[in-house]
Structure 1
Amino acid sequence: MTTSDRNVLNWSPDAVVFDCDGTLVDSERHWQEARSRAFQEYGLQPPPGFAEQALGRHYEDCGRLMAQTVQKPELAEDLTAALLDHFLELVTEEPVTMPGAVRLVRQLSGRLPLAVASNCPRVVVEGSLERAGLLGHFQHLVVPDPGDGVRPKPHPDVYAVAARLCGVPPHRALAVEDTLTGVEAARRAGLRVLGVGPRPPGDGATRADGWAQALDAPELLAWVQALDSPRGVQDS
């Protein structure tokens, strides 16, 4: 476990808001394959480093980026549609949860309000969580919705709405994220952030309040067990 200026696991939040893709569900590899298939469908090749550019983006933003990077802006809508179609096919065939996700969510369930804030379409989030047996543990699912003015990450909207629906001030909620795009969104919304997964290069990890290698890290499990303990630090 690494931290920035304070150890977030010495603190007890009033709600926890999880990202879905790459945090609870191992679907980033499906997005990567879907991007490759969408490019191939139109006889195109992804430029070097495109996977890193696309990480954590809303699929519509990613479709536009795909078109821009191959200098085919007229294909933005077509590539976006192909990207989503291929992803839905892949994630339906092989849904996989991240290590420790099921255990951690189940242990938190009933102790704190839980929500998901994702850049994925609602049908993807609901389907992924249902297949993982986790959907019933979350009181709220928040995804981008242009009709309601909820913008995708890195805008703070999905996290701000999730905290509000959980009935807590943003600074009393903990976000759990695997990408710097998501970390930025949660920070801008005022949540504390626990990053999870491979440590980002450079000083990226310092944008979060703490960083763990995986959801099954022993310190995370110990933290959950201590939430009901008077040792928890309840500060504002």
Structure 2
Amino acid sequence: MTAEKLLAWTPAAIVFDCDGTLMDSERHWEEAREMVLREHGTAPTEEFAQRTKGLHYRECGRMLAEFAGHPELAEQMTGQLLDAFRTLVAENPVTMPGAPELVEKAAAFAPLAIASNCPRDVVEDGLAKAGLLRHFGHVLVPEGEMRPKPYPDVYLEAARLCGAAPGDALAVEDSHCGFLSASRAGLRVLGVGPRKPVDERPPVDLWVDTLADPDLVRWAETRVA
């Protein structure tokens, strides 16, 4: 689907990522990773920061332990990562530009869901504090046998719970890990945020710098429920 066709289309459901897409919390993850590595005598490189963006927190904790030269401390460092992140979010929950307005407009014409790699309490608490949680019928996170992004599980289940076939649903994502998850599930993908170099072309149907993009806002305003 081309960008022009996407902006002429009304999805049967919209599934949003949370961190870095709706909530300005990716910076909190970055700071939390730095805090944990500092406690273990090292600091992240830019390349490491990019590799860990959007990953499930357990995978991120494992990578932190390996990067610090202490793979045996993966579980401990995962716990430290979550503790630091929860503290930072509680101190400063902030939405991304245009997120509240787009979510409110989208909820008027399509069922909405969240698909995140974060713990459920982190996602729901942050969205609740931002006044956005009430717009979402479902919050999907990797639990039980559900695998984290970049596997397609959370997006497949989110579309199903919204009553939409994957190909009739739209994913809104900011990370390459998330793009892969959504596209593997068969959803159309709206990428948001600054474009960063990756080894492969991201599977995105349309890319905007911000959810406040005028064309995107106009699209949401002209959909019919």
- Which position in structure 2 is the counterpart of 1:26? 24
What SS does structure 1 have at the residue aligned with 2:7? helix
What SS does structure 2 have at the residue aligned with 1:49? helix
Q: What letter matches 1:154 in structure 2? A: P
Matches within 5 A, 1:51-200: 51-145=49-143, 147=144, 149-200=145-196
- Which position in structure 1 is the counterpart of 2:210? 214
Q: What RMSD over aligned residues (CA atoms) do the two structures have, in Å?
A: 1.7
Divergent runs of 4+, >4 A: 3-6, 202-206
Distance 2:105 2:88 in 1: 29
Structure 1 unaligned residues grouped into runs of 5+: 230-236
Q: What letter matches 2:10 in structure 1? A: S
Distance 1:90 1:115 in 2: 25
Distance 2:32 2:202 in 1: 31
Distance 1:10 1:206 in 2: 22
Identity %: 54
- 2:62 touches 2:74 (CA, 8 Å); kept in 1? yes
- 1:194 touches 1:210 (CA, 8 Å); kept in 2? yes
Shift of 1:53: 1.1
Q: What letter matches 2:79 in structure 1? A: A
Distance 1:40 1:93 in 2: 21
Shift of 1:4: 5.4
Q: What letter matches 1:123 in structure 2? A: D
Change (3 A) 1:206 1:42: closer
String of CA shifts for 1:19-68, please: whole Å, max 9, x gaps. Answer: 00000000010001101111122233334521111111011100001111
Distance 2:130 2:191 in 1: 21
Change (3 A) 1:48 1:24: closer
Distance 1:53 1:202 in 2: 10
Structure 2 unaligned residues grouped into runs of 5+: none
How many residue pairs match? The answer is 225
String of CA shifts for 1:202-227, please: whole Å, max 9, x gaps. Answer: 68565101101100000011111221
Distance 1:171 1:125 in 2: 25
What SS does structure 2 have at the residue aligned with 1:32? helix
TM-score (norm 1): 0.91
Distance 1:55 1:5 in 2: 25
Shift of 1:12: 1.2
